[in-house]
């Protein structure tokens, strides 16, 4: 490993690659570039110790960025290298896929140079930190296997890292524990004792001044006198770490899970990564200045040594049961506090009810301001929800429903409505037998913020679709003018142009036409559910015949044989959209054919379980199974334009049509040259008359 940090950049867009190389080279990094996933993987496997960080474009020809990421994180010699995922698409589910796959950083295109460098510098710093921990872990390995209890106080980041490395070596897989423990201990110093906020840390990292600010605050008596403490306890079944600091705490609930909105920040994922990768459990308490993490021990686990674990007999049964009961109560209390749930407990024999303080405060009341009665609930719940909710309760109690879970609104003390998610189950003993007296125990969760977000998301999606439609529509006119004037220029200057210039004009005209095709496809995509026929009862077989009529020239040219069989009922759907669905799926089966092989396509409908399922199978070029997840995304292409024309919107359009009708769609293929099968299903009502193969 040289002193100059080497980076691997995988990017298939030449302009984006040039920008990355220029900015990173000027910052002092050595760069190896790859133009697709296969080339990136070849470089990584050829020299796994070369790179300090990897920048992956999410969408690339061949294996895409997500697949390369998966391979990196499952390869022992590469899994510790930080991966920065680049993408112009920032859908939350796509970001989460990358984060859960192990991408510690996200970079959205287009990006500013300072953002790029801040994220890359952070990744390289973390990688160096990882190497230091790995080295210290190797030195200290197998020296602490008999440690049963220890407690340390610490003040500085260096002390935190040293202690984390020391204690982690008393654990199985000490390297992973060291990384997670180090994150928690640094968090106790930075956000706890030194009071550095999330926003302040973001700014300090961007300015390259984080270490300087930590040093300054440590020298300030108002901050620097504070110390954090960590306790280590080895039990028979687990190792427990208890970490505390003297800070004011922080909003720890927001950092326990991977959040898409923080994927593009330079930090903020350490706690979630520690919980996911380093510990079997991780639990913050109170305001966030105490955290407990545990590592489970398998029976006899000894880090390479033979250790006999003796079984002790507990002679103080009552004390043991009392301790277990106390621990259970504490855990329930902590769980309810952390989850912010309101507890209720209904004695079904006496009609007595208990409402926890949080149940009441959720509605703006103090612990003594509401009586613990059923009438209290009935007076606060939205009137039109009372009877349906009680009916659901009785359906569960009578065994007619598997669970009780429902949503309704309750009146807050100040008059506004609170959206509530209610869940409950019968109280049972360890053997699953209902307790006596019979009790229904449940929780209320305030989901007002979620409901508001869902409403805003629906509104935002509607506005976004309208915007996409307007942009696509309005851009076509100037685009047609560009293409027309290019053709006029080529015609007027035909005798004065050399072959190279004429080729350039041809490229420009071809690019304008291709962009126009993409805009048309985007217009079609935005119209689903808005600009097509309304839902109505239609004969499904007629929509297939209409689609085949549109496709007849392509079918004849390819010599395709199409077989239609099975059940073809009357369904409640948009005729235009169903025709487009069949047109795209059958058209793809015709287009993506093997050279020298006539397409054979089977379209089969089947009824069952209240749904109508259609399978469209072909003997075409097939699909790499690892790439199937990309198929139904907008502007995703698995084949080059030189081989097959298209805008990359057709299958995304199919997915949107199917989902607009309440259905699902997926694809299967054994691989290249093995053909493909696309399957979609739509819900049917009981009144739907079946009309097989008319």
Confidence (pLDDT) at 526: 62
Confidence (pLDDT) at 613: 95
**Model confidence over 304-329: pLDDT tens digits?**
332 222 222 233 344 444 444 444 44
| For range 330-346, the mean pLDDT | 60
Count of residues making up the chain:
694
Confidence (pLDDT) at 647: 54
Confidence (pLDDT) at 474: 66
**Long-range contacts of the stretch 659-667 (C-beta < 8 A, 24+):** 660/528, 660/529, 660/574, 660/577, 661/535, 661/573, 661/574, 661/577, 663/611, 665/632, 666/628, 667/623, 667/628, 667/631
Is there a common fold for 452-527 and 536-683?
no
Nearest to 632 by CA among 91, 140, 23, 223: 91
Q: How far is residue 147 from each of residues 5, 133, 142, measured CA to CA in Å?
A: 38, 20, 11
Reading phi first (left if > 0) and then psi (alpha if -120 to 50, else beta), residue 129 is in alpha
Q: Six-digit token pair at 405?
A: 């879970």
Fold classification of 536-683 (topology level): Heat Shock Protein 90 (3.30.565)
**Model confidence over 222-263: pLDDT tens digits?**
776 788 888 888 888 888 899 888 887 776 666 766 555 555
Asked if the bond preceding 437 is cis, omega within 30° of 0, the reply is yes
More confident residue, 60 or 25: 25
H or E element at residue 20? helix 14-26
Please name the CATH architecture into which domain 142-312 falls.
2-Layer Sandwich (3.30)
Q: Six-digit token pair at 356?
A: 């926890």
Distance CA 361, CA 363 (A): 5
H or E element at residue 592? none
Asked if 673 and 623 touch (Cβ cutoff 8 Å), the reply is: no
| For range 439-462, the mean pLDDT | 82
Q: Six-digit token pair at 113?
A: 């140079």
Distance CA 170, CA 256 (A): 25
* Alpha-helical regions (H) of 141-247: 157-168, 174-187, 198-207, 210-219, 221-224
* Structure confidence at residue 33 as a pLDDT band (50, 70, 90): very high
* Alpha-helical regions (H) of 309-382: 317-339, 357-361, 374-380
CA terminus-to-terminus distance, the chain: 71
Q: How far is residue 316 from each of residues 235, 322, 324, 327, 505, measured CA to CA in Å?
A: 19, 10, 12, 17, 91
Facing residues of 411 across strands? Answer: 417
Please name the CATH architecture into which domain 6-126 falls.
3-Layer(aba) Sandwich (3.40)
User: Does residue 445 carry a pLDDT above 90?
Assistant: no
Backbone angles phi, psi at 400, to 5 degrees: -85, -10
Confidence (pLDDT) at 529: 59
* Structure confidence at residue 456 as a pLDDT band (50, 70, 90): confident
The yes or no reply on domain 452-527 and CATH 1.10.287 is yes
| For range 431-453, the mean pLDDT | 80
Question: Which residue's structure tokens are 């409908």?
Answer: 605
**Long-range contacts of the stretch 345-354 (C-beta < 8 A, 24+):** 345/427, 345/439, 345/440, 345/441, 346/374, 346/439, 346/440, 346/441, 346/442, 347/437, 347/438, 347/439, 348/397, 348/437, 348/438, 348/439, 348/440, 349/437, 349/438, 350/437, 353/377
Distance CA 647, CA 513 (A): 11
**Model confidence over 534-552: pLDDT tens digits?**
778 889 999 999 999 888 8
Q: Where are the domains of the chain?
A: 6-126, 142-312, 341-444, 452-527, 536-683
Confidence (pLDDT) at 248: 77
Please name the CATH architecture into which domain 341-444 falls.
2-Layer Sandwich (3.30)
């Amino acid at each position: 490993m040289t002193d100059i940090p080497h980076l691997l950049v995988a990017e298939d867009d030449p302009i984006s690659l040039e920008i990355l190389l220029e900015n990173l080279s000027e910052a002092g990094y050595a760069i190896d570039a790859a133009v697709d996933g296969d080339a990136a993987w070849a470089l990584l496997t050829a020299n796994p110790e070369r790179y300090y960080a990897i920048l992956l474009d999410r969408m690339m020809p061949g294996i895409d960025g997500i697949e390369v990421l998966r391979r990196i994180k499952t390869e022992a010699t590469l899994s510790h290298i930080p991966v920065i995922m680049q993408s112009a698409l920032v859908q939350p589910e796509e970001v989460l896929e990358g984060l859960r796959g192990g991408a510690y950083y996200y970079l959205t295109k287009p990006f500013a140079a300072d953002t790029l460098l801040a994220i890359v510098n952070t990744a390289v710093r973390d990688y160096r930190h990882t190497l230091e921990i790995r080295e210290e872990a190797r030195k200290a390995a197998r020296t602490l296997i008999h440690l049963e209890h220890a407690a340390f106080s610490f003040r500085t980041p260096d002390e935190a890292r040293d202690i984390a490395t020391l204690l982690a070596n008393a654990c199985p897989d000490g390297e992973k524990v060291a990384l997670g423990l180090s994150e928690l201990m640094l968090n106790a110093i930075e956000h706890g004792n030194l009071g550095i906020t999330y926003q302040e840390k973001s700014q300090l990292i961007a300015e390259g001044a984080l270490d300087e600010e930590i040093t300054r605050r440590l020298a300030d008596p108002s901050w620097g006198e504070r110390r954090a403490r960590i306790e280590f306890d080895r039990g028979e079944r687990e190792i427990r770490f208890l970490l505390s600091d003297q800070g004011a705490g922080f909003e720890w609930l927001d950092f326990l899970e991977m959040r898409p909105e923080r994927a593009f920040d330079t930090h903020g994922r350490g706690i979630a990564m520690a919980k996911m990768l380093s510990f079997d459990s991780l639990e913050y308490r109170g305001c966030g200045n105490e955290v407990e993490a545990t590592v489970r021990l398998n029976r006899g686990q000894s880090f390479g040594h033979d250790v006999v674990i003796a079984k002790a007999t507990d002679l103080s049964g009552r004390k043991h049961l009392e301790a277990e009961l106390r621990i259970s109560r504490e855990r329930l209390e902590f769980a309810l506090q952390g989850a912010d749930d309101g507890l209720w407990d209904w004695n079904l024999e006496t009609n007595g009810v208990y409402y926890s303080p949080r149940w009441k405060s959720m509605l703006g009341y103090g612990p003594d301001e509401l009586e613990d009665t059923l009438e209290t609930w009935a007076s606060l719940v939205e009137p039109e929800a009372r009877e349906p909710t009680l009916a659901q309760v009785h359906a569960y109690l009578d065994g007619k429903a598997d669970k009780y879970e429902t949503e309704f609104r309750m009146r807050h003390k100040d008059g506004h409505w609170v959206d509530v998610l209610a869940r409950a189950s019968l109280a049972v003993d360890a053997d699953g037998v209902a307790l006596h007296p019979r009790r229904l125990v449940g929780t209320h969760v305030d989901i007002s913020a979620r409901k508001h977000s869902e409403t805003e998301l629906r509104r935002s999606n509607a506005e976004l679709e309208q915007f996409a439609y307007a942009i696509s529509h309005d851009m076509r006119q100037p685009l047609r003018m560009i293409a027309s004037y290019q053709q006029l220029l080529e015609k007027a200057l035909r005798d004065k142009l050399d072959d190279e210039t004429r080729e350039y004009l041809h490229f420009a005209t071809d690019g304008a036409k291709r962009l126009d095709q993409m805009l048309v496809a985007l217009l079609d995509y935005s119209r689903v559910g808005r600009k097509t026929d309304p839902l109505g009862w239609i004969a499904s077989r007629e929509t297939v015949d209409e689609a085949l009529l549109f496709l007849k020239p392509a079918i004849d040219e390819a010599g395709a044989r199409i077989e239609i069989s099975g059940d073809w009922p009357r369904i409640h759907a948009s005729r235009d959209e169903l025709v487009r669905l069949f047109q795209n799926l059958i058209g793809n089966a015709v287009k993506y054919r093997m050279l020298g092989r006539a397409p054979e396509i089977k379209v089969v409908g089947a009824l069952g379980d209240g749904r109508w399922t259609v399978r469209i199978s072909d003997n075409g070029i097939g699909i790499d199974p690892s790439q199937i997840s990309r198929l139904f995304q907008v502007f995703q292409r698995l084949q080059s334009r030189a081989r097959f024309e298209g805008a990359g919107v057709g299958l995304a359009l199919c997915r949107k049509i199917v989902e607009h009708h309440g259905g699902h769609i997926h694809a299967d293929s054994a691989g290249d040259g093995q053909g493909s099968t696309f399957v979609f299903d739509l819900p049917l009502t009981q009144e739907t008359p079946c009309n097989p193969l008319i």
